[in-house]
Amino acid sequence: MRVSFNVNGEDVTADNVWPGESLLYVLRERLGLPGSKNACEQGECGSCTVYFDGVTACSCMIAAGQAEGRRVRTVEGLAQGSGKGPERELGTVQDAFVEAGAVQCGFCTPGLLVQTDDLLERTVGAGLPAPDDAEIREALAGNLCRCTGYEKIIDAVHLAAERHAGTGGGA
């Protein structure tokens, strides 16, 4: 089948999609967007988290056909600049994760970035106070990380919230 949707602001079409494929598979294997990771394929780990019509969701749990006509935003769409490669300007959350040491193997990172971006948009981005530890933990409870013990991730979220509030937004 053919599936057409919008990814990171760009209209895309995937052909010859087997109906059993997930949105995650289509992104990774058909659209050249491998940033979203497949670590459990059953919605338990959050590594494949994307925005789906503005709501965060595990893309492994979305059938390819369900994406028809929808808007998807992946980790590849989080950067502020439009350039490709490591020189392009990182978004606030991305930069904070590197700076705070929240990235080790990095496999959970794309999902955590999307989920953190969403948390900050809902809080500091909406003029509300920055999230405290307990709020951060609840918001990120669906994202497994095996390397860090989460402490540096919490540091990164605080850092990003501080800068987000300071700059008035932007992932």
Residue ranges binding other proteins (CB under 8 A): 18, 20, 28-29, 32-42, 44-45, 47, 74-76, 78-79, 85-86, 88, 90, 94-95, 97-101, 103-110, 113, 133-134, 136-138, 140-154
Minimum CB–partner distance for residue 145 and other proteins (Å): 7
Chain centroid, CA 83 distance in Å: 19
- Closer of 87 and 127 to other proteins (Cβ): 87
Question: Going edge to edge, which strands form the sheet with 10-14?
Answer: 10-14, 3-7, 71-73, 49-52, 55-58
DSSP collapsed to 3 states, 68-90: CCCEEECHHHCCCCCCCCCCCCC
Minimum CB–partner distance for residue 74 and other proteins (Å): 7
DSSP 117: H
- Closer of 123 and 148 to other proteins (Cβ): 148
**Cα dist from 124 to 1, 105, 158, whole Å:** 41, 28, 11
Minimum CB–partner distance for residue 116 and other proteins (Å): 11
- Closer of 36 and 123 to other proteins (Cβ): 36
